[in-house]
Amino acid sequence: MPAASIDALTSPTLKHLRERWWNDDFTEFLTETLRPRPGNRILDVGCGEGIAEVRLGRLQVSQLRLFGVDLMIERVMVARHETAAHNQRVGFACAEASRLPFCDNAFDSTFCVAVLQHVGDVAAAVREFARVTSPGGRIVAVEPDNSARYAYSATPAGLRAFEMSARFFGALAASRGDLIDAKVGPRLPALFARCGIEPLDVRLFPVSQTRLGVPSEDVWKRRRAVVEQAIDEAQADAVRALGQEYLDLLTAYATEARAAGPSFVEIQNTMLFATVGQKT
């Protein structure tokens, strides 16, 4: 698994990880675990902008039929455009992971990547994966443990910024009523078993980022822009006040980083848990 662009200072989860690190190695992993065969029907839950469909389509498996669903219609439209540009015929739909618009046993394999971390009822989604997958079919879910992210900074303000990020984004999520399971990744094998999916394998993939030397001004601007937007969208005064405190801390962090010069270092790391199962 390649290094990825992750930043706990702008998000409490690896929300956009999928689009940033998908490469040939990960395509090989999916090919190995999903075992596409001629004529197979494979479902991608949370297809995003169609990266998986383009990658799997390049395998040129005879009569392989790919389908993707995503909650956001904008992403579905982009995915449709991307696959069409590669002369691929892929079926797409806008749907929730816990309410898939397909009949029972419709697919030979089902997979999702960095999706369940955003689903309120993970068990319902996994039951849907099992329902739409035919007996003996593979089900693969790749999710992080967002509660076990490691972060280090060479400056005191940086260490405080990582702590404040967790507080701010946690308060923001709570004010919205977002009850997300941060530890979803390592909990999937047990959940698979309860939903009629036999766990076959669990693989761990480190996802990390190291900055040595002062980050560019674009990095600090991007961090501030994300937080400012979150503050604007916050409904509670307490959350907005916490966000402003966080912005002030980011300013102090940038100042300390510049003072540290070439000796500055920032390290972030987390783990992805790839659970491979087979419908019983």
Q: What's the confidence (pLDDT) of residue 268?
A: 93
The tokens describing 200, both together, are 């076959």
Q: Which tops the pLDDT comparison, 253 or 206?
A: 253
Residue pair 29/57 in contact by the 8 Å Cβ criterion: no
Q: Tell me: the pLDDT tens digits for 240-271?
A: 999 999 999 999 999 999 999 999 999 999 88
Of 37-41, 102-106, 157-161, where does mean pLDDT reach its minimum?
37-41
How far apart (Å, rounded) are the C-alpha atoms in residues 33 and 41?
15
How far apart (Å, rounded) are the C-alpha atoms in residues 219 and 222?
5
Q: What's the confidence (pLDDT) of residue 3?
A: 42
Q: What's the confidence (pLDDT) of residue 21?
A: 59
Give 217-277 as a 3 state SS string. Answer: HHHHHHHHHHHHHHHHHCCCHHHHHHHHHHHHHHHHHHHHHHHHHHHCEEEEEEEEEEEEE
CB neighbour class for 60 (10 Å; exposed up to 12, middle 13-18, buried from 19): exposed
* Mean pLDDT computed over 13-18: 67
Sole residue written with tokens 């005879």: 62
Task: Map out the domains of the chain as residue ranges.
Answer: 17-146+179-206+272-279, 148-176+210-266
Q: Tell me: the pLDDT tens digits for 59-85?
A: 888 888 999 999 999 999 999 999 999
Per the confidence metrics, is the pTM higher than 0.75?
yes
Number of residues that this document lists for the chain: 280
Q: Tell me: the pLDDT tens digits for 112-134?
A: 998 998 898 999 999 999 999 99
- Where is 34: in which H helix or E strand? helix 24-34
Residue 36 DSSP label: -
Name the CATH superfamily, with its identifier, for domain 17-146+179-206+272-279.
Vaccinia Virus protein VP39 (3.40.50.150)
Quickly state the pLDDT bin for 19 (edges 50, 70, 90). Answer: low
Report percent pLDDT > 90 for the chain: 69
How far apart (Å, rounded) are the C-alpha atoms in residues 265 and 13?
22
The tokens describing 280, both together, are 């019983």
What is the pLDDT of the chain when averaged over all its residues?
91
Q: Tell me: the pLDDT tens digits for 210-247?
A: 999 999 999 999 999 999 999 999 989 999 999 999 99
Report percent pLDDT > 70 for the chain: 94
* Mean pLDDT computed over 194-199: 97
- Classify 60 in phi/psi space as left (phi over 0), alpha (psi -120 to 50) or beta: left
As a dihedral over the C-alpha atoms of residue 178, residue 121, residue 108, residue 185, rounded to 10 degrees, the angle is: 70
Q: Which of 221, 219, 195, 194 is nearest to 209 (CA)?
A: 219
Contacts of 173 by beta carbon, 8 Å cutoff, 6+ apart: 12, 180
CB neighbour class for 85 (10 Å; exposed up to 12, middle 13-18, buried from 19): exposed
Q: What's the confidence (pLDDT) of residue 179?
A: 64
How far apart (Å, rounded) are the C-alpha atoms in residues 54 and 93?
16
Q: What's the confidence (pLDDT) of residue 4?
A: 47
